[in-house]
């Protein structure tokens, strides 16, 4: 194979370090992607003038447009409309699993799969509670169904959009909207049939916090104290009491002369006779009582505000939430959003340690407190999905759903027929949603998962350097050296399996960017069409069923389901084998070598 060139050595070194950083996770994946981009730029592997060309790549524009359209469909009430109908299903586990999985898969084919999953989670948890079985039985199948649904269309998942871009670079013609359907839909149907008939029985029945009547035992977190006459708290501000100790303290409510104040502002003045509901650890609570001369009343509800009146709600943190990566102590939730964070649960149990030091991650369940009238706005601003409560349909749901569906349907037709490129038709649809007032302009920017956009914009030039430097061809040669005496189909299988394994520890978009050039290199070495190999990468990148970190959907159900890290392979491994067994022959039929 010869010695490595300078460019190849740089690319292999940069990608090797990036893979370690992606897997070990000391930095967020978008930061790692930018570091990789800067490394190949300063070493001259790619010209400085082309360093940021990836941010204008059609794949990046298309992904952003799809995220906006997904948010608009949610705002219109389409998913809530479906959810309200699903709430009438019976209590048989198999029926619940199958119907919910099919609905999530269909939604995920045309909208962001994490968004579809998040909106269906409360429905699944209500069904589990009503049926008397743990939510874990439903949540993992739903997460996997969202991945299967994404296989079926161009816009179903970012890897498909990325693969279409590589195909256009290779042949001058991208994959169209439904080019993925013959193979992807067949795989999705086989996967959903397995999950609905037998697969759900392999899911561990974890008794998670989400399966209890209340996710959090309120009396563990809230206590009541009375402000007696002459107390040093009389005339003090809420923030003065909350800042006594370094630990996280929240005054969640005030009962004053029969009137209740929920989530009072930091500058509210405390008066003698007030009953305060305080969230604090025991040592901090004792110090506050001692310093201000307060009287301990008991657990919340003993003498003041009942838990139902406090405006408490439990929700799961979505990957794009501004809470991710931050601690409760460092978030000005009350000032910025008018909400208090009272407790955190992770992996099926309340998080250990002081609340102030817990760094929040996607999938954490949080106990939030805010006036009921502001719940919807709080959840939208914090990008959290409620775990309980019936879906509240927006006003004029029918008209909004019709308008949104017409705009989106028109974009799909224009894309599928080739009249407009996907990035043009879908961007126009996103803009149309704004002009039709289906979604507000401010929500457009909030709906875009910016770390994914940065990841794609940074990694696409790195992927191009991987291909143009000849590095991908070297990897392809290494794969061929293992299967050179075997039929070409074995190269397809090896490529799909390697991509699957990589996607279980990497973001699936990053896995697609890295493996697509290898697929093209294999096609050149074998002297065959690149289409089946690119499709193999697309299938493999969107099949990370073995770990909770392989995809945001897997992460999202980790806490609410009470799963352990090793639970995923029980359903995921046989599902991956089914995907390979179905996808490979379908690839050879639809996209022959």
**Could you read off the pLDDT of 413-434 as tens digits, one per residue?**
999 888 998 899 999 999 999 9
Q: Which residues does residue 314 pair with via DSSP β-bridges, in sequence order?
A: 367
Predicted confidence band of residue 307 (pLDDT cuts 50, 70, 90): low
- How many CB atoms are closer than 10 A to CB 375? 18
Lowest model confidence (mean pLDDT) among 259-273, 306-320, 426-440, 465-479:
306-320
pLDDT in tens, 203-242: 888 765 444 445 565 556 677 888 888 888 888 888 888 8
CA gap 253, 371 in Å, rounded: 10
Task: Give Cβ neighbours of residue 577 (< 8 Å, ≥ 6 apart).
Answer: none
- Looking at per-residue pLDDT, the higher value among 350 and 66 belongs to 66
In contact, 554 and 568? CB cutoff 8 Å: yes
pTM value surpassing 0.85: no
Q: What pLDDT is stored for residue 406 in this prediction? A: 93
Q: Is the pLDDT of residue 544 over 80?
A: yes
Q: Is the pLDDT of residue 531 over 90?
A: yes
Q: Which residues does residue 277 pair with via DSSP β-bridges, in sequence order?
A: 224, 253
Q: Is the pLDDT of residue 104 over 60?
A: yes
56-65, 371-380, 468-477: range with highest mean pLDDT: 56-65
3-class SS string, 4-64: CCHHHHHHHHHHHHHHHHHHHCCCCHHHHHHHHHHHHHHCCCCCHHHCCHHHHCHHHHHHH
What does DSSP assign to residue 261? E
CA gap 243, 265 in Å, rounded: 14
Q: Delineate the domains of the chain, giving CATH numbers in brackets.
A: 61-211+394-450 (no CATH), 216-386 (3.30.70.1450)
Q: What pLDDT is stored for residue 215 in this prediction? A: 55
Percent of the chain clearing pLDDT 70 (strictly above): 88
Q: What pLDDT is stored for residue 245 in this prediction? A: 65
In contact, 385 and 122? CB cutoff 8 Å: yes
Q: What pLDDT is stored for residue 25 in this prediction? A: 66
Residue 540 phi, psi dihedral angles, 5° rounding: -65, -40
CA gap 424, 588 in Å, rounded: 32
> Over the Cα atoms of the chain, what is R_g?
26
Q: What pLDDT is stored for residue 210 in this prediction? A: 44
pLDDT in tens, 118-144: 778 877 877 787 777 888 888 999 999
Q: What pLDDT is stored for residue 552 in this prediction? A: 84
Q: Is the pLDDT of residue 446 over 70?
A: yes
- Looking at per-residue pLDDT, the higher value among 425 and 368 belongs to 425
pLDDT in tens, 480-512: 877 667 788 888 999 999 999 988 887 888 889
In contact, 586 and 186? CB cutoff 8 Å: yes
Q: In Å, what is the CA distance from 323 to each residue of 246, 318, 320, 330, 498?
A: 20, 9, 8, 10, 34
pLDDT in tens, 314-364: 888 877 788 888 887 777 777 777 788 878 887 666 666 667 678 888 778
SS3 475: helix
CA gap 524, 593 in Å, rounded: 11
Nearest to 367 by CA among 220, 552, 548, 240: 220
What is the chain's mean pLDDT, rounded?
A: 83
Q: Is the pLDDT of residue 536 over 90?
A: yes
In contact, 253 and 276? CB cutoff 8 Å: yes
CA gap 122, 134 in Å, rounded: 13
pLDDT in tens, 282-295: 778 888 888 888 88
Task: Give Cβ neighbours of residue 214 (< 8 Å, ≥ 6 apart).
Answer: none
- 100-117: b or e for each residue (b if 16 or more CB lie within 10 Å)? bbbbbbbbbbbbbbbbbb
pLDDT in tens, 262-281: 778 888 888 988 888 887 77
Q: What pLDDT is stored for residue 539 in this prediction? A: 96
Lowest model confidence (mean pLDDT) among 353-362, 455-464, 539-548, 556-565:
353-362
In what side-by-side order are the strands of the sheet with 275-279? 259-262, 250-256, 275-279, 222-226, 295-299
Question: Which burial class, exposed, middle or buried, applies to 211 when counting CB atoms under 10 A from its CB (0-12, 13-18, 19+)?
Answer: buried
Percent of the chain clearing pLDDT 90 (strictly above): 26
pLDDT in tens, 156-213: 899 999 999 999 988 888 899 999 999 999 999 999 999 999 988 998 887 654 444 4
DSSP for 335-368? HHHS-EEEEEEETTEEPPS-GGGPPP-TT-EEEE
Tokens of 274: 């007030």
């Amino acid at each position: 194979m010869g010695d490595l060139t300078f460019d190849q050595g740089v690319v292999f070194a940069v990608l090797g370090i990036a893979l370690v950083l992606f897997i070990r996770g000391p930095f967020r994946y978008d930061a790692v992607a930018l570091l990789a981009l800067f490394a190949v730029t300063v070493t001259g592997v790619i010209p400085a003038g082309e360093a940021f060309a990836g941010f204008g790549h059609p794949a990046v524009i298309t992904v952003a447009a799809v995220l906006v359209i997904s948010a608009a469909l949610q705002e219109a009430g389409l998913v809530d409309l479906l959810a309200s109908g699903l709430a009438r299903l019976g209590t048989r586990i198999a029926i619940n699993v199958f119907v919910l999985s099919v609905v999530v898969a269909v939604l995920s084919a045309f909208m962001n799969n994490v968004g579809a999953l998040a909106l269906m989670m409360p429905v699944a948890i209500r069904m589990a509670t009503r049926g008397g079985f743990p939510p874990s039985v439903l949540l993992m199948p739903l997460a996997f169904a969202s991945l299967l649904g994404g296989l079926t269309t161009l816009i179903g998942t970012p890897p498909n959009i990325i693969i279409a871009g590589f195909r256009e670079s290779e042949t001058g013609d991208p994959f169209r909207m439904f080019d993925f359907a013959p193979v992807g839909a067949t795989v999705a149907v086989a996967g959903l049939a397995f999950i609905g008939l037998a697969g759900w029985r392999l899911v561990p029945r974890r008794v998670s916090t989400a399966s209890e009547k209340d996710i959090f035992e309120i009396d563990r977190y809230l206590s009541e104290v009375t402000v007696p006459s002459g107390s040093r708290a009389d005339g003090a501000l809420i923030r003065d009491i909350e800042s006594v100790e370094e630990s996280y303290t929240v005054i969640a409510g005030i009962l004053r002369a029969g009137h209740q104040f929920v989530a009072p502002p930091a500058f509210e003045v405390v008066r003698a006779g007030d009953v305060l509901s305080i969230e604090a650890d025991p040592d901090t609570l004792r110090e506050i009582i001692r310093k201000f001369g307060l009287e301990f009343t008991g657990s919340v509800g003993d003498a003041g505000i009942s838990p139902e009146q406090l405006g408490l709600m439990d929700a799961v943190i979505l990957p794009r939430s501004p809470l991710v990566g931050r601690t409760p102590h460092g978030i000005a939730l009350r000032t910025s959003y008018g909400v208090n964070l009272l407790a955190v649960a992770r992996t099926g149990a309340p998080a250990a340690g002081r609340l102030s030091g817990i760094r929040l991650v996607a999938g954490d369940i949080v106990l939030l407190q805010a006036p009921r009238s502001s719940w919807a706005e709080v959840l939208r601003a914090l990008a959290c999905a409620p775990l309980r409560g019936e879906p509240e349909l927006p006003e004029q749901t029918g008209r909004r759903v019709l308008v949104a569906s017409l705009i989106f349907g028109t974009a799909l037709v224009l894309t599928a027929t080739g009249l407009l490129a996907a990035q043009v038709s879908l961007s126009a649809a996103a803009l149309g949603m704004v002009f039709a007032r289906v979604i507000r302009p401010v929500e457009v920017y909030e709906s875009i998962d910016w770390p994914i956009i940065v990841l794609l914009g940074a990694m696409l030039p790195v992927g191009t350097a991987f291909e143009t430097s000849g590095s991908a061809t070297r990897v392809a040669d290494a794969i061929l050296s293992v299967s050179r005496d075997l039929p070409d189909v074995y190269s397809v299988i090896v490529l799909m399996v390697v991509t699957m394994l990589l996607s279980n520890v990497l973001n699936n978009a990053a896995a697609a960017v890295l493996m697509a050039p290898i697929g093209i290199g294999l096609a050149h070495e074998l002297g065959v069409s690149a289409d089946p190999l690119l499709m193999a990468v697309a299938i493999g990148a969107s099949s990370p069923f073995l770990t909770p970190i392989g995809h945001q959907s897997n992460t999202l159900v980790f806490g609410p389901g009470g799963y352990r890290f090793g639970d995923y392979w029980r359903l995921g491994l046989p599902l991956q084998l089914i995907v390979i067994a179905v996808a490979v022959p379908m690839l050879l039929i639809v996209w022959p070598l």
